[in-house]
């Protein structure tokens, strides 16, 4: 996800050919496979630094490069955001405890195309509040993806997320949004996780979007820690994040980053 300033305003939405979409599928499958490995590795007692090391090794195996490391000076391949951390947590020697929730956001570049996805994982047994937050965030993502259809409007995606999340008493982060993706990690359009249905550009086959709800158990306000990256909830409530890269096609949404 990007802060609202990351995407230059003068660019147009870049439509992709079916051949380009298959190249993006390849990049995103690498992302999906590495995230799958993270699911197995994310256990009580492991550090995020160890997950980072594993991600780096798997990138080398797939001959892919990190999309994030070096992006605006970001120092790692993974974003690992624990509990009240919303996004852009930096891997560290922090040891995961039973009951933590861990969001892992991961992007690659492979043969000129980007892949980007995120999951939030339970570390061991988690509280029922945390479980509900993860479930609603993932449901919001899949309901939103179902709106990524030719003829719909962009904010149909956004409104669907907001409606589902707020119906469950959670809140939607405003300060970070989803984005177009392709030969750049961040392309137009921005994809907010809130808004009015029926607004925004009309969706067309060839659009490729990273849809990424970030939702909080408490209020929607976030602040950035002193490292200049990590966003946390102001009220210290738990936060969850799920992301898929999706192509709008003649045949409906194509989830590029799903195994």
Contact positions toward Co ion, by CB under 5 A? 1, 116, 210
**H-run or E-run covering 109:** strand 101-110
Work out how close the CB of 212 gets to Co ion at its nearest, in angstroms, rounded to a whole number: 5
Burial class (CB in 10 A: 0-12, 13-18, 19+), 151: exposed
Contacts of 54 (CB under 8 A, 6+ apart): 37, 38, 41
79 and 88 Cβ atoms separated by less than 8 Å = yes
20 vs 116 by CB, closer to Co ion = 116
60 and 30 Cβ atoms separated by less than 8 Å = no
User: Is the bond into 189 cis (omega within 30 degrees of 0)?
Assistant: yes
Work out how close the CB of 150 gets to Co ion at its nearest, in angstroms, rounded to a whole number: 22
96 vs 190 by CB, closer to Co ion = 190
**What distance in Å separates the CA atoms of residue 16 and residue 73, rounded to the nearest whole number?**
28
Work out how close the CB of 34 gets to Co ion at its nearest, in angstroms, rounded to a whole number: 15
1 vs 102 by CB, closer to Co ion = 1
Work out how close the CB of 46 gets to Co ion at its nearest, in angstroms, rounded to a whole number: 24
Work out how close the CB of 249 gets to Co ion at its nearest, in angstroms, rounded to a whole number: 20
For 31-44, the DSSP string reads HHHHHHHHHHH--T
Radius of gyration for the chain, computed over Cα atoms and rounded to the nearest angstrom: 17
Secondary structure of residue 24 in the 3-state scheme: helix
Work out how close the CB of 218 gets to Co ion at its nearest, in angstroms, rounded to a whole number: 23
Work out how close the CB of 185 gets to Co ion at its nearest, in angstroms, rounded to a whole number: 7
Secondary structure of residue 58 in the 3-state scheme: helix
48 vs 190 by CB, closer to Co ion = 190
**H-run or E-run covering 143:** helix 128-145
DSSP 26: H
84 vs 116 by CB, closer to Co ion = 116
117 vs 203 by CB, closer to Co ion = 117
71 vs 235 by CB, closer to Co ion = 71
Q: What are phi and psi of 232, to 5 degrees?
A: -125, 160
């Amino acid at each position: 996800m990007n802060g609202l300033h990351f995407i230059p305003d003068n660019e147009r939405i870049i439509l992709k050919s079916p051949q380009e979409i298959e190249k993006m599928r390849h990049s995103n499958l690498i992302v999906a496979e590495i995230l799958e490995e993270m699911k197995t590795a994310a256990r009580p007692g492991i550090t995020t630094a160890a997950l980072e090391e594993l991600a780096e090794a798997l990138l080398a195996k797939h001959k892919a490069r990190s999309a994030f490391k070096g992006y605006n000076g970001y120092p790692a391949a993974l974003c690992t955001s624990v509990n009240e951390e919303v996004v852009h947590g930096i891997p560290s020697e922090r040891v995961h405890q039973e009951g933590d929730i861990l969001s892992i956001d991961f992007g690659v570049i492979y043969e000129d195309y980007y892949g980007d996805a995120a999951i939030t994982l339970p570390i061991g047994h988690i509280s029922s509040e945390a479980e509900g937050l993860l479930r609603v965030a993932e449901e919001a993502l899949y309901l939103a993806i179902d709106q990524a259809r030719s003829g719909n409007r962009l904010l149909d995606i956004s409104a669907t997320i907001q409606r589902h999340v707020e119906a469950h008493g959670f809140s939607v982060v405003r300060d970070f949004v989803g984005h177009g993706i392709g030969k750049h990690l961040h392309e137009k359009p921005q994809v907010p996780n809130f808004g009015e249905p029926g607004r925004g550009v009309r969706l067309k086959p060839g659009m490729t979007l990273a849809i990424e709800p970030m939702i909080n158990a408490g209020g929607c306000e976030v602040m950035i820690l002193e490292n200049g990256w990590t966003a946390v909830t102001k009220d210290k409530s738990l936060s969850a994040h799920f992301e898929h890269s999706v192509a709008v096609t003649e045949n409906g949404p194509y989830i590029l980053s799903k195994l």
